[in-house]
Amino acid sequence: MVEIRRTPRRRKIVDHFTQEVARKEALKMRGLRHKDETVWFGLGMFGIVGWAVAIPTLIGIALGLWIDRTWPSQYSWALMLLIVGVVVGCINAAYWVRKVRQGIIDEDEGDDELDSKS
């Protein structure tokens, strides 16, 4: 049997290979856990973000039109509340995106903790 000498260079190559295999295995395991999240899941998330912006915008416009009809003034309340609705909607959408992103990060950190205990 031929003995292979463990030089520092070979050890570095073996360590790099081992890390790459572990990284790809973790990626594959994450993919298996999220296999139910297809393209439709992503499109659904776009829908949630879209509605999170659209609903406050439409409410702002409706309220602004009602104010303009009830108490006429030189300023357009519909336009002002349209802008307020868009801003509130964008803040709402950012909240939802941040919440989903944090859930993914927390799940990945939990997996890393389990991997380190194994």
What are the boundaries of each domain within the chain? 1-35, 38-117
Contact 46, 96 (CB under 8 A): no
Six token digits for residue 39: 């393209």
pLDDT tens for each residue of 31-47: 777 666 677 777 777 88
pTM of the model: 0.62
In percent, the amount of the chain with pLDDT more than 70 equals 85
Here the tokens at position 32 are 């298996």
Q: In this structure, what token pair is assigned to residue 13?
A: 């190559």
Instruction: State the chain's mean pLDDT as an integer.
Output: 84
What does the CA dihedral 33, 36, 37, 39 come to, rounded to 10 degrees?
140
Q: What is the rounded distance in angstroms from the CA atom of residue 25 to the CA atom of residue 107?
A: 16
Q: Average pLDDT in the 68-72 region?
A: 93
SS (H, E, C) 24-56: HHHHHHHHHHCCCCCHHHHHHHHHHHHHHHHHH
CA-CA distance, 47 to 35, in Å (whole number)? 20
